[in-house]
Amino acid sequence: MSTVTNPILPGFHPDPSIVRVGEWYYLANSTFEWWPGVRIHRSRDLANWELAGYALTRRSQLEMRGNLDSGGVWAPCLSHADGLFWLIYSDAKSLNSPFKDVRNYLVTAERIEGPWSEPLYLNASGFDPSLFHDGDGRKWLVNQIWDPRPARNAFAGIALQEYSVTEQRLVGEPLTIFRGSALGITEGPHLYRKDGYYYLVTAEGGTGWEHAITVARSRTLIGPYEVSPHHPLLSTRDHPQHPLQKTGHGSFVQAPDGNWYVAYLCSRPHGEKRRCMLGRETALQPFAWPEGDWPRLPQGNCPAVTVEVPGVAMTPDYLPEFTDTFAAPELNLQWNTLREPATANWLSLTERPGFLRLRGRHSLNSTFEQSLVGFRLLHQRCRISTRLEFNPKSFQQTAGLALYYNTRNFYYACVSRGDAGNRELRILAAHNGQFRELLTPPHQLPETGAVIIIAEFIDGALRFSVCADAKDSAAVEVIAGIDATTLSDDAVYEGGSWGFTGTFVVLCAQDSGDSGIPADFGSFHYGRAGPLDPPRILLRHAQRSRSTC
């Protein structure tokens, strides 16, 4: 056995769906507006996880141009039956209350790496669909039902409907089988059959501080479903000091030795404002499920930070470091783009070998043509750097390194041109749609040559430094003490909006002048870091500290 520390998949890895096929475990996570859709990891021992790929990799499977922030792919369900992997997912187009315009689809594949089939449309009655394969060979879809009518419970229950494999569509009429417990906000359903019972596992309480996993069961598929006397199975709603918060939305898997585990989402708050900069992450927990009895955690409904899993050896951390010199002709799987796949008109790894070449398009405020690649922020303490060659003509061309949550929340260190024709580094900030410049005046750069942009993220404090790419050059800190906790679901909620994702480190370029000037990124490095110096809000030029690049 090995001891693992939760979360097992840190950073933006929400809504986990877990399944075991032979000696492999597979985990699928929501990807929302990020491309490709549905991120899938695999492990042989529940301790060491590697990125296997993505399920939705073609535009014919997923069209997200214009999707709102936190729209796109919600709550995938991954299962295996009849020699195939089955994946159900939602594509959320509109989130503005009281309406939710969401369509649910099914794709299949013989291998987890794909190719995955073209999507089959299922329904649009709600979100969080899940496919259950019954012992008699029949297949059933369950999903949350959304009711937009005034003075109604918008989370109107869990619906059941049969899926016909031969007709490739839902058949019969949907039946509401569960309206939820007193916790409310019932969603994220999964069905299991064990010891003569059908077990319905749902998420309840909302995907925030009141989040929980509810278990109900029935002797028949259509119910009635009785809520467990040990309800909820897992939650930190009554444990406000626990390091893992917002725990819920779980799915079950059985190991070859008969032991059971639940994969669930969690978040880790930081600081007085209790904001979760890394978003919703994936954790793992063993539980007991005696024959004929209810599933229960060994320590009540409170999750454990460290747990025992079957693995005999493990890595110290999930991806503690990542370096890309852009030598390959295709992007590393760890990179993601926004809402659409990369195309040669704006991204190339072959025009200039050894460089990621971006041609600027829309601003970071756009939900359409963003020229950027993103890497998940995975640690509370990390150091990021990139080497950039970019020679803009005017202020209309920018390129650089950003800490990005969504179109309305980011910090961006970008190279541009000033009114006097000088090359400069600007720091742009957006918080709930309020945009401002953090450096006045901007930091002046050499007129030619590459620059290295450095970002350090320590427990919610962010600082940027810059270094000329020349012999004996030193890094110059341009700003420190930035409150990066604004890059969180919590800060977005405080601003009266929606947020379900997490922070990305992005390399990007913008060009409102359509100049076609390329931004060439020669390297990227991400790694864990130690504590920062005491935070400072804004350092004038004479006060800027120097360190080696």
Across the chain, which has 549 residues, the per-10-residue mean pLDDT values are 93 98 98 98 95 98 96 98 98 88 97 98 97 97 96 95 98 98 97 98 96 98 97 96 97 97 97 94 97 94 92 78 97 98 97 98 97 97 97 97 97 96 96 95 95 95 90 86 96 91 97 96 92 37 36
Tell me if 521 sits within 8 A of 417, measured CB to CB. Answer: no
Q: Which residue has the tokens 């030598």?
A: 327
| Dihedral angle over CA of 468, 469, 474, 478, nearest 10 | 40
Identity of the residue numbered 387: R
Let me know if the fold of 2-309 is the same as that of 321-548.
Answer: no
> For residue 427, what are the β-bridge partners?
413
Report H helices in 402-537.
Answer: 489-494
Query: DSSP secondary-structure letter at 280?
Result: S
Q: State the catalytic residue, choosing from 210, 226, 369, 494.
A: 369
**Cβ contact 100:148 at 8 Å:** yes
pLDDT at 387: 97
Answer whether the bond into residue 10 is a cis peptide, omega within 30°.
no
Q: Give the number of residues written for the chain.
A: 549
Where are the chain's structural domains?
2-309, 321-548
Residues 476/478/482/486 CA torsion (nearest 10 deg)? -100
Alpha helices in 79-220 (DSSP H): none
> CA 332 to CA 115: how far, in whole Å?
18
Show the 3-state SS of 25-51: EEEEECCECEECEEEEEEECCCCCCEE
Q: Is 304 exposed, middle or buried, given 0-12, 13-18 or 19+ CB atoms closer than 10 A?
A: middle
User: How high is the pLDDT of residue 547?
Assistant: 39
For residue 281, count other CB atoms closer than 10 A to its CB.
27
According to DSSP, the residues that pair with 536 across neighbouring strands are none
Backbone torsion region of residue 341, taken as left when φ is above 0, otherwise alpha when ψ lies between -120 and 50, otherwise beta: beta
What residues pair up with 288 in beta bridges, in sequence order?
Answer: 296
369 tagged catalytic = yes
Chosen CATH of 321-548 out of 3.40.190.10, 2.60.120.200, 1.20.120.1080, 1.50.10.100: 2.60.120.200
Give the residue among 82, 12, 26 at the shortest CA–CA distance from 55.
26
Across-strand partners of 89?
105
CATH superfamily of 2-309: Glycosyl hydrolase domain; family 43 (2.115.10.20)
Strands 245-254 and 234-235: unpaired
Here the tokens at position 243 are 């390091």
Q: What is the pLDDT of residue 314?
A: 67
Q: Distance between terminal CA atoms of the chain?
A: 42
CA dihedral 281, 534, 537, 397 (to 10 degrees): -60
Q: Which neighbouring-strand residues pair with 286? A: 261
- Do 533 and 481 contact (CB within 8 A), yes or no? no
